[in-house]
């Protein structure tokens, strides 16, 4: 992939670690400007990484970084963060909606404050960030909105027993569905991206199976490389898609996925919201719902 994000400005939510940071570092290697909009300002042993450590990685990778303490639940904080990004770098070319909250408990166990948190961050936060970034994106040369959310599938098995989480994640995907049509005339690309397998992040390790699932996961760089491919495509020709990382990479001529495996000797675990494996050496796990 020879296309570049050199000189482009990315506003990435939740970029202090995991997939968001991997996308930021991939863009930084091209010489991009990256605003890290996240809440993490102090180290947490369970979920390491802050906006400041992320900024240092981005700068070391060759990019320019702007660390912004921002909680995307609050309108004023998002508005100020986007404006600061535009003032610092002369505009905003790309919005990556990566921030997300997860809680897989069912209706009997889930507190309403956790329900509200997921919807405030996932669905509302995605909508809010798009709203605040739009005035700048409309002025950009090749503007993109990329949201880390799954393809839409109304099969009830995806809603039970983790109804609240699915509603919140699908809310992010509905933003893609609607805005892609709304913004087509403006030439602003709006797409979603989802990984084929579990990704080795702190959230997966802490909430979805610990070390065993991490060993059967792929590295965040697989999503970052797919995101880079999408974000460097012409915005008017690439919108309204629900991409899966391995399909994007296949379109770019990438067939060897072994370097992305945490442990290449093990089959990777199929991610939630996908019906069947797409690539070799991927299998469903116990948490994957049946028919």
Mind telling me the catalytic residues?
Answer: 165
38 beta partners: 69
Angle subtended by helix axes 75-89 and 125-137, to nearest 10: 30
What count of Cα atoms within 13 Å lies in the side-chain half-sphere of residue 214? Answer: 11
SS3 letters across the chain: CCCCCCCCEEEEECCCCHHHHHHHHHHHCCCCEEEEEECCCCCCCCCCCCHHHHHHHHHHHCCEEEEEECCCCCHHHHHHHHHHHHHHHCCCCEEEECCCCCCCCCCCCCCHHHHHHHHHHHHHHHHHHHHHHHHHHCCCCCCEEEECCCCCCCCHHHCCCCHHHHHHHHHHHHHHHHHHHHCHHHCCEEEEEECCECECCHHHHHHCCHHHHHHCCECCHHHHHHHHHHHCCCHHHCCCCEEEHHHHHHHCCCCCCHHHECCCCCCEEECCCCCCCCCCCEECCCCCCCC
């Amino acid at each position: 992939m020879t296309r570049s994000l050199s000189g482009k400005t990315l506003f990435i939510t939740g970029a202090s670690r995991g997939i968001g940071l991997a996308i930021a570092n991939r863009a930084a290697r091209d010489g991009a400007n990256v605003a890290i909009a996240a809440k993490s300002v102090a180290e947490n042993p369970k979920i390491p990484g802050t906006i400041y450590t992320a900024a240092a990685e981005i700068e070391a990778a060759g990019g320019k970084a702007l660390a912004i303490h921002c909680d995307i639940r609050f309108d004023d904080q998002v508005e100020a963060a986007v404006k600061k990004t535009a003032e610092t770098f002369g505009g905003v070319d790309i919005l990556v909606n990566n921030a997300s909250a997860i809680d897989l408990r069912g209706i009997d166990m889930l507190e309403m404050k956790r329900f509200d948190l997921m919807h405030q961050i996932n669905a509302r936060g995605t909508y809010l960030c798009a709203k605040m970034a739009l005035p700048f994106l409309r002025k950009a040369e090749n503007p993109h909105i990329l949201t880390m959310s799954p393809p839409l599938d109304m099969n009830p098995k995806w809603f039970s027993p983790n109804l609240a989480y699915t509603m919140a994640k699908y809310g992010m995907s509905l933003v893609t569905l609607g805005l892609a049509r709304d913004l087509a005339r403006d030439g602003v690309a709006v797409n979603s991206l989802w990984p084929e397998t579990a990704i080795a992040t702190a959230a997966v390790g802490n909430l979805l199976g610990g070390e065993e699932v991490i060993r059967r996961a792929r590295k965040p760089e697989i999503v970052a490389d797919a995101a880079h491919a999408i974000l460097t495509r012409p915005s008017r020709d690439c919108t309204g898609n629900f991409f899966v990382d391995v399909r994007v990479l296949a379109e770019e001529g990438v067939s060897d996925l072994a370097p992305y495996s945490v442990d290449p000797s093990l089959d990777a675990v199929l991610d939630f919201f996908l019906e069947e494996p797409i690539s070799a050496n991927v299998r469903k796990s116990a948490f994957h719902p049946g028919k």
